[in-house]
Amino acid sequence: MSCWDTVQMYALRSLGYGERLLPRDDFTICQQVTLIGSGMMWNVYFGVLALAAGFFLATALALGKASPQLWLRKPAQWFIFVFRGSPLFIQFFFAYFAFLSLKQLSPLFDPFSSAWMGALVVLFLNTAAYSGEIFHGALMSVPKGDMEAADAYGFTGWARFRKITWPTMLRLAWPAYTNEAIFLFHATTLVFFSGFPARQQKGDALYYANYFADKTFNPFIPYPILAGYFILVTLVIIGVFGLVNRRLNRHLPVARKMRMRLRAPLMR
């Protein structure tokens, strides 16, 4: 059987298409690369959607935490504290328990005990908390002068936020936010590992890597393959976020751009 046949059989296995039975003997490198790659689709799915949705909640949380209103500030503070203060491992555990009991109340919650929905919600809340903290930090360090200039030009309310505060906040937060994105993609490997059960052997990259390590009794091939895929994903993230960063900083003189890049702290 050629490698191309294997790819056709297993490339979409993680979504439930193609060959039903996973390989059981005569394991080849090609099978491992194909199936682990197939599982990567789930990691990308969780990562991209959680990040995209989390971005908006994070902005809201940052504004909430910076708000002078107590009833806005306290919930935002607590949300960020709880989700940043506890391991994702434990969050998955509680979420799975909670979703199972909600399921008894209404069939509306049925999808939540499956990974595609339930784990996505947990990852979304988790990344929103971490990004919210990063955005809050950035919001606090928006230069006073920028705001005064905005006032002088007559910007108020929504327009001031949309045109001045928000872009500056993003610009300041971007290096740390890039790190958060990388961490989030790494965190997606926990979904099937500790959180949610895998149904019909449809799992993420780590699930298949684990499967092969288990069947071949040799961890030294599947896990490095998994690592290779993640290094690729990380490079893509750094590339894409770098482009956005360039766009966010396009109005700055070169020297200041350099300084921005160098001050990048690791936030998470």
Rounded Cα distance between 85 and 35, Å, is 34
Residues in contact with other proteins by the rule CB under 8 A: 20-22, 24-25, 81-82, 84-90, 93-94, 97, 100, 103-104, 113, 136-138, 140-141, 182-183, 185-187, 189-190, 193-194, 197-201, 206, 209-210, 213-215, 217-220, 223-224, 226-227, 230-231, 234-235, 262-268
232/243 with CB nearer other proteins? 232
CB 188 within 8 A of CB 43: yes
C-beta closer to other proteins: residue 20 or 159: 20
Distance of alpha carbon 22 from alpha carbon 43, whole angstroms = 20
User: Nearest distance from residue 10's CB to other proteins, in Å?
Assistant: 14
Count, residues in the chain: 268
Q: How far is the CB of 262 from other proteins (least distance, A)?
A: 5
CB of 150 to other proteins, least distance (A): 19
C-alpha–C-alpha distance, residues 229 and 82, integer Å: 31
Q: What is the distance, to the nearest Å, from the Cα of residue 223 to the centroid of all Cα atoms in its chain?
A: 21
Q: Which of 77, 29, 20, 48 is nearest to 236 (CA)?
A: 48
Sign of CA dihedral 143, 147, 150, 155: positive
Q: Coil, helix or strand for 115?
A: helix
Give least dist CB 244 to other proteins, A.
19
Closer of 150 and 206 to other proteins (Cβ): 206
User: Distances in Å between the alpha carbon of 247 and those of 48, 141, 167, 171?
Assistant: 20, 20, 11, 9
Nearer to other proteins, 153 or 224 (CB): 224
Structure tokens at 93: 């555990």
Choose among 113, 158, 125, 6: nearest CA to 55. Answer: 125
The CB-of-154 to other proteins minimum distance in angstroms stands at 27
Q: Which is nearer to other proteins, 124 or 208 (CB)?
A: 208
CB nearer to other proteins: give 20 or 246.
20
CB of 52 or CB of 90, closer to other proteins: 90
> 174: closest CA among 249, 235, 236?
249
Minimum CB separation of residue 254 from other proteins in Å reads: 15
In the bound complex, what is the minimum distance in angstroms from residue 90's beta carbon to other proteins?
A: 6
Q: Encoding tokens for residue 247? A: 């766009």
